Amino acid sequence: MSSSVATVSIPTRPAPVGRVRSFLRRLRSGDEIAHMFTFVFAASIFLITVLLVYELYHNTALPRHKFGWNFFTTQTWDPVFDNFGALPFIYGTVVTSAIALLISVPLGVGAAIFLAELAPRGISDALTFIIELLAAVPSVIFGVIGVFVLVPIMRKYVEPFLKATLGSLPIFKGPIISGYDLLTAGVVLSIMVVPFIISVSREVLLAVPVDQREAALALGATRWETTWKVVVPYARIGIFGSVFLSMARALGETMAVTMVIGNVVKISTSLFMPGYTIAAVIANEFTEATGDLYTQSLIELGLVLFLLTIILNGMARIMILVTQGRGTSQE
């Protein structure tokens, strides 16, 4: 009796021909090439940021080891005795930027609304062209105008008026010395950053679909109600983006602020007193720095400014997310 052994053939798994053909097809159509190039461009931004932080951190070993966290809380800046602290410069940077935003945000958003929604097209285009020219003016020009025009006006008229009317507030107390102070620096910054807010906000408002306006008008809303209750909320994310751009410009501005802030290493609650910013002290003292500790302390100030910008932008974006969440929940 013969026994036959049945042979079972196991099918081999075919090669993923479909995937290869799909990849080649996308490669020929340009999808994979475009994906690769855009990924490289996007990754390069992250790489540049990491390299900046690494270089700044790597070149600040001496002050980090000597001062540690006290570098952020010390008010002394004494190159003679190698004693350095960043607190006065952090204070001056934050205060002048806050003043600039308090002035420029309402002014810029209001001007953008007028140019985008209310002004005739010819007037809007002409004013927009002028505003874009202002955004391209070098900062040193604003500094010169601040020295010869703004400082005398602030010293003779604006600051005496603020002291007479709001002198009970701590920020408007104290003597008016020369006009070279925190308030003047904040006003100069506001003049510099307001063109950015106007330009970006205007473009964002113009990008709102016409259907949104027509729907509100059809329901009986007035022109202003349509603008304020429909168009502006629709474009609020872009408006916040213009504020971020202006805040970054205000935090890092150097020449104009250096020329009008007074350049005194001191923390004062009065805006009539001179101060100093991080960018200004780096510009003034970096070429004169003698010794590795002095130089690396200035570099660490640059790292502090970089981190300060990241923190403030992060807080602003968190505020936007919270605002969006509340708006969505209410709807």
Number of other CB atoms surrounding residue 323 within 10 Å: 13
Residue with tokens 């000597």: 66
Per-residue pLDDT of the chain (331 residues; tens, 9 = 90+): 444 444 545 455 555 556 667 666 666 666 677 778 888 999 999 999 899 999 999 999 999 999 999 999 999 999 999 999 999 999 999 999 999 999 999 999 999 999 999 899 889 989 999 998 888 899 999 999 999 999 999 999 999 999 999 989 999 988 998 899 999 999 999 999 999 999 999 999 999 999 989 899 898 888 899 999 999 988 888 898 888 888 888 988 889 999 999 999 999 999 999 999 999 999 999 988 888 999 999 999 999 999 888 888 887 778 777 766 554 444 5
Whether the Cβ atoms of residue 226 and residue 188 lie closer than 8 Å to each other: no
Say if residues 256 and 142 touch (Cβ distance below 8 Å): yes
Strands 83-84, 77-78: parallel, antiparallel or unpaired by DSSP? antiparallel
Separation of alpha carbons 124 and 116, rounded Å: 7
Output the pLDDT for position 5.
47
- Residue 192, Cβ density class (10 Å: 0-12 exposed, 13-18 middle, ≥19 buried): buried
- Coil, helix or strand at residue 158: helix
Q: Per the structure block, which two tokens stand in for 303?
A: 């790292």
Residue 301: what pLDDT? 94
d(CA 136, CA 192): 10
Binning the chain into helix, strand and coil, the percentages to the nearest 5 are 75, 0, 25
Which one-letter amino acid corresponds to residue 111? A
Distance CA 196, CA 178 (A): 30
Burial of residue 318 (CB within 10 Å: 0-12, 13-18, 19+) is exposed
